[in-house]
């Protein structure tokens, strides 16, 4: 979420932070957290070996969004690498995705039901 934390290149960007400073800043969602509209669901694997997606980035983004009063959730999955493969993890993710989409996308503008007495 903050590309300046991977200063020696990422994905197809081969310049380092000091050669491509503007690109690194533009590609860092963390720096634009205040502009988020809508709800953001994040998940991360605690054993992620991808150098550009260290789990701490998700935690920092989550704290930034919460501090800004944004709607967000972060789920950390233990014992998983960059792409989760355990059946339990995949089923849990799918369940959370469906519930999230139902609440924040499908029914985002649905009128609120009156509370039962």
Specify the fold of 3-106. Answer: Rossmann fold (3.40.50)
Instruction: Output the pLDDT for position 5.
Output: 72
Instruction: Output the pLDDT for position 42.
Output: 95
Partners of residue 43 on adjacent β-strands: 75
Q: Measured at the alpha carbon of residue 84, what is the angle toward residues 13 and 75, in degrees to the nearest 5?
A: 90
Instruction: Output the pLDDT for position 112.
Output: 66
Beta-strand ranges (E) seen in 64-117 are: 72-77
Give the closest residue to 61 by CA, choosing from 72, 51, 52. 72
Quote the distance between the C-alpha of residue 103 and its chain's center. Answer: 18
Instruction: Output the pLDDT for position 117.
Output: 56
For the cut 90, the answer to whether the pLDDT of residue 37 exceeds it is: yes
Q: For residue range 80-114, list pLDDT tens digits in order.
A: 988 889 999 999 999 999 999 999 999 877 666 66
Cα 22 to Cα 15: distance, rounded to the nearest angstrom: 11
Q: Domain residue spans in the chain? A: 3-106
């Amino acid at each position: 979420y903050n590309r300046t934390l991977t200063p020696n290149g990422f994905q197809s960007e081969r310049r380092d932070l000091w050669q491509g400073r503007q690109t690194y800043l533009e590609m860092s969602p963390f720096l634009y957290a205040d502009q988020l509209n809508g709800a953001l669901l994040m998940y991360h694997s605690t054993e992620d070996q991808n150098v550009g997606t260290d789990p701490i980035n998700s935690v920092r983004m989550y704290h930034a969004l919460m501090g800004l009063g944004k709607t967000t959730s972060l789920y950390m999955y233990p014992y998983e690498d960059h792409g989760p493969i355990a059946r339990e993890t995949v089923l849990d993710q799918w369940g959370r995705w469906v519930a999230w989409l139902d609440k924040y996308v499908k029914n985002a503008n649905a009128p609120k039901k009156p509370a039962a007495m």
